Amino acid sequence: MTLTELNRAFSMTPAVCFVSINGSTEDPHDLVGRVKSKPQLEEMGAEQMMSSVIYGDMAYDVIDGFIGEPLPP
């Protein structure tokens, strides 16, 4: 992606933002509020199903998005 106003280009990686825990009040993995790329989810052994991620025995509600990393000028 290129932002012409900033004259900068970014590589985009699919990611999710963890917004809440489904069915619990505790977050033993400290993921709520964090962003993880899809490759990071795979490394963790987490599975995404629609707007949820299952990690261990916890189900998290997530929002799909992207992480943008600046490319050299």
Burial class (CB in 10 A: 0-12, 13-18, 19+), 46: buried
- pTM of the predicted model, to two decimals? 0.85
Tens of pLDDT, residues 2-33: 999 988 999 999 999 999 998 888 999 999 99
Q: What is the pLDDT of residue 37?
A: 97
**Residue type for position 2:** T
pLDDT at 24: 82
